Amino acid sequence: MRKINIFDTTLRDGEQSAGVNLNLHEKLEIARQLERLGVDIIEAGFPAASKGDFQAIQAIAQTVRNCSVTGLSRSVQSDIDAAWEALKDGAEPRLHVFIATSPIHMQYKLRMTPEQVIETAVESVRYAKKYFPIVQWSAEDACRSDLPFLATIVERVIEAGANVINIPDTVGYITPKQYGDIFSFLKENVRNIEKISLSAHCHDDLGMAVANSLAAIEAGATQIEGTVNGIGERAGNAAIEEVAVALYIRRDYYQAETRLNLQEIKRTSNLVSKLTGMIVPPNKAIVGKNAFAHESGIHQDGVLKEKTTYEIISPQLVGVQSNAMVLGKHSGRHAFRTRIQELGYSLTDEEVNRLFGRFKDLADKKKDITDDDLIALILDEKLDTYKNFYQLCSIQVQYGTNQIPTAVVVLKNGEGNDIQEAATGAGSVEALYNALEKALQLPVTLLDYRIESVGSGRDALAQVYVKVSLDGKEASGRGTAQDVLEASAKAYIHAVNRMFVIEKMREEQALAAQ
C-alpha cells in the first residue's frame, strides 16, 4: 500500500469561503480536531495576510505536535520571513510558496515574462530553504499552463531545493484523465522528480475535485490537498473525507491508504460545520445525514437481510453513532467533566463551572442530553470571545395570527448599562431583529438567516446562523438555545459583537503600522 499524505487546508482555503471568518480560538479548536483526525499537514493560514492570521498560525504551530503545520506564502521574501516567524516553533515547520504559471495569469496578473516567473520561483525556494526543512512549491493555475514550460519550472525549483511539488487545478477546470496526464507528463519529463513528493490540489467548480484527486493518485501523486466537508472559495475544494474513505473502501483498486482515523470524520465534519456556519447538505457523501438512510422499500428489505446489499460504507466506520443519552439532570460535576474530556475538549475550571450551570438548566428542560447537545453548549460557551460589547439580557415576543408581532429586548452594553427597545414586524423574527437594531442604533443589514436543530425531538436545541453587514463590512454569528427566538437573538448579537472585534483589530493594526 502506498502512503498518501493528507494536506488539510480547511483553515486557509476553507476559510476563504464567502461569509466564513474564524477567530483564533475557533481555529485552534479545529486544528486540535484535525490533529485527532490524523491529517499529515495542516495549512493554518496565510501569515503575511494580517496580524490576526499570523497570531492564529503561530498559536496552532505551538499547540499541534502530531502533524506538520504550514502557511501559505507568495514568492516574496517578506512573506517567507513572516511565515518563518509564525511557524518556527512547530513540530515540523514547512512553507507553502506559490507563483502562477499559466499564460493568462503571467500576462494579466503578474505582468511577468515566463523567464521572470522561473527566476522568481527559484529565488523564493532558495531563500525559503535557508529556514524551512520542508518547502512545498505550487504552480498556481497549473492546469491551464503550457506543459513544457511547467516541466521546466518544476525541474528548476526541484534543483533549488523544493521537497514537494503541488499541481493545483486552481479554477476547477480540468477533467480526471487530463489531470492524471499532467502528472504522468511531469514524471516522464522532469529530472530528479523521483526525489520529491507530487501533490494535488483540486477545486470543485465542475464537480470533479474528488475524482481529479483520485486520478492524481493513480498517476503517482502521494499527497492530496483538500478541506473538511469540501468547503472553500467558489464551489469549494476536494473533500478530504471523501478521498480518504474512497481509498479505504476501494483499497483493492487504488492500493493506497492514508493515516486518517476514519472514526473521527463525522465529529470533525460537525465541528467545522458549526464553527463556519456552512451546513452540510443532507445528501453529502460520507457525512450528510442521509448518507446512510434507506428510503426505498427494496433497499430497506435488502439492508435488513444483508447490509452490504446497498451499504458499502458502515456508519460506524466514519464515527456516526446513535444519539444515546450520555448525561442527565442527576449527573454530577465529575461525570460531566469526564464526558467533556472524552469528547476531546479541554476546559479550565472556570469554564467547566459556567458550563455545568448551563448544562443543569438544560437538563431541567430536556430529558435526554446527547453528545451533540454538549458540544453545542461547549462551543457556545468556550468559543464566544465577544462578550465585551453587547450582551443579551432578555427578550419578550408577542405573536398571534390576528395581531401584529411585537418584540421587546433588553441588552447590556460594554459599560454595563441596560438598553431596552420594542418593535414590530411582519413576523416574530423580523420584530425581534427590528427591536435589536433599534437598541444597537446601528444600520445592520441581515444578509442570511439559517436554522437547524441539534438532534431530534420537540425539545431539541435550536442553532441559528446569521450573516450581517454594517457599513459595507460583513460578519457571521451563531446562537444556540432551546427556544428558536432566543437562538436567533443570540446569533444576531454574536455577529454584531464579532463586527466590533474585527474593526478593533483593524484599528490596532493601523496604529501599529503608523
Question: Would you list which residues are annotated within the binding site?
Answer: 13, 201, 203, 237
- Residue 104 in grid coordinates: 493568462
Contacts of 267 (CB under 8 A, 6+ apart): 33, 319, 344
Q: Are 494 and 46 in contact (CB under 8 A)?
A: no
Contacts of 456 (CB under 8 A, 6+ apart): 323
What is the Cα–Cα distance from 117 to 237, expressed in whole angstroms?
26
Q: Which residue matches cell numbers 493545483?
A: 168
Q: Are 263 and 317 in contact (CB under 8 A)?
A: yes
The number of beta carbons lying within 10 Å of the beta carbon of residue 296 is: 10
Residue 485: CA count within 13 A, CB half-sphere = 20
Phi and psi angles of residue 155, each rounded to the nearest 5 degrees, phi first: -60, -40
What is the Cα–Cα distance from 171 to 215, expressed in whole angstroms?
17
What is the Cα–Cα distance from 248 to 243, expressed in whole angstroms?
9
Task: Using alpha carbons, select from 192, 207, 206 the residue that is nearest to residue 157.
Answer: 192
Helix (H, G, I), strand (E, B) or coil at 11: coil
Contacts of 151 (CB under 8 A, 6+ apart): 185, 186, 189, 190
Q: Which neighbouring-strand residues pair with 473?
A: 470
Number of helices and strands (H, E) in the chain? 17, 16
What is the Cα–Cα distance from 269 to 230, expressed in whole angstroms?
10
Phi and psi angles of residue 421, each rounded to the nearest 5 degrees, phi first: -145, 155
Provide DSSP, 145-156.
S-HHHHHHHHHH
Helices 77-87 and 114-128: angle between axes, nearest 10 degrees: 30
Q: Are 67 and 41 in contact (CB under 8 A)?
A: yes
Q: Which neighbouring-strand residues pair with 175?
A: none
What is the Cα–Cα distance from 271 to 97, expressed in whole angstroms?
29
What is the Cα–Cα distance from 420 to 437, expressed in whole angstroms?
11
Q: Give the residue numbers of the binding site for Mn(2+).
A: 13, 201, 203, 237
State the pairing for strand pair 418-424/403-412.
Answer: antiparallel
Q: Is 99 exposed, middle or buried (0-12, 13-18, 19+ CB in 10 A)?
A: buried
C-alpha torsion sign, points 489, 491, 496, 501:
positive
